[in-house]
Structure 1
Amino acid sequence: MGRPKKFDPVVAVDQAMEVFWGQGYGATTPQQLAERLHIGKGSMYHAFGGKRQLYDLALRRYLDMRVQSVGAILESPGPAKEVLRRALRYMVEADFESPDRRGCFATNSAVEFGRIDQEVTDRVLELFGRTEAAFRALI
């Protein structure tokens, strides 16, 4: 029987998302991830499979969070013009609120992987499509 996990996988994915979002996939080392997650590299590989699998989980988490937060704003009460203004303002401010102004993790992923990885491209396009559908529903 293996030892019980001493970390929360959801929190670990959130922490990995912060690292990848700030540095990008290519500039992030497994050692940096393990240090940020406060686990050994072996535990990280055992729990998540590897750097790329952890990146995929982090990107999926970001996309789900973004769709939920923008969707909640677009479904809020009020005149459509004001709701649209709140949603657009949120989208800009959320991606530039940190001191390093790292931009949109989805867009950053599309730029880094867009020409070489169809899976990442498809995932980002899905986010954009879901967001567009939410805007269309409001309008």
Structure 2
Amino acid sequence: MARPKAFDEERAVDAAMRAFWSAGYEGTSTQDLCDATGLGRSSIYNTFTSKHELFDRALRRYITTKNASIFEILDGNLPARAKVGALLRLTIEAPEEDPIGCLVVNSTVELAPRDPGVAATLREDQNRRLDALTAAIRAGQRSGEIDASKDARTLAHFVITTISGMRVAARGGAGKDTLEAIATTALSVL
């Protein structure tokens, strides 16, 4: 008879997510994961089978968690320009307890070029965000709030790329004033 797990698997995934978010996939050792989760190596490997599987679960958790606030904004009743502004504010006002930067951006740079599974997860995530943001921008174009002569999908790509760049800038030490200026410039493009 197998012994029941004596730990909360979801809390372990959350702890691993924060470790990967802080140090990246390659920069996070198995010992780092043990320290972050409070689990021994055997518990990690018996539950998740590999560091990569744990990373995959952590990345999906990150995407689900972060996208919840994004889709709440995009599905809300704000005008389109205000929705884009609110998305930019999420980056500027990231919770202080969160690691600086973005696990999606970090994983896109570190793993996507050589890991087809991670690349597919990231592509699926980006397409969902692009579709929702494109729809919001098109609504803003129909209402006259956003320049209708510009391609909505291109504008959505621009906004998402700007947010990614802001997260990289924050990780590199950019302060709120710099991030505010970037956000203001991005909004002026719409």
Normalising by structure 1, we get a TM-score of: 0.89
Worse-matched range after superposition: 26-35 or 52-61 = 26-35
Structure 2 residue 101 is the aligned partner of structure 1 residue 109: no
Q: Tell me the CA shift for residue 88 of structure 1.
A: 2.2
Residue ranges of structure 2 left out of the alignment (5+ in a row) = 138-190
Gaps of 5+ in 1: none
> Does 2:122 correspond to 1:124?
yes
Q: Which SS does the other structure have where 2:93 is aligned? A: helix
Deviations 1:32-91 (A, max 9, x none): 111211111101111111111100100111112222220011111222211221122214
Which whole-Å CA distance do the structure 2 matches of 1:92 and 1:122 have between them?
Answer: 28
Letter paired with 1:21: W
Aligned partners of 1:101 and 1:19: how far apart in 2? 9
Q: CA RMSD in A?
A: 1.7
The worse-fitting range, judged by mean Cα deviation, of 98-107 and 25-34 is: 98-107
Structure 1 residues 50 and 38, CA gap change in structure 2 (3 angstroms): same
TM-score scaled by structure 2?
A: 0.67
Identical pairs, percent: 39
SS of alignment partner, residue 72 of structure 1: helix
Give the distance between the partners of 1:8 and 1:101, measured in 2 at CA: 22
| 1:114 partner SS | coil
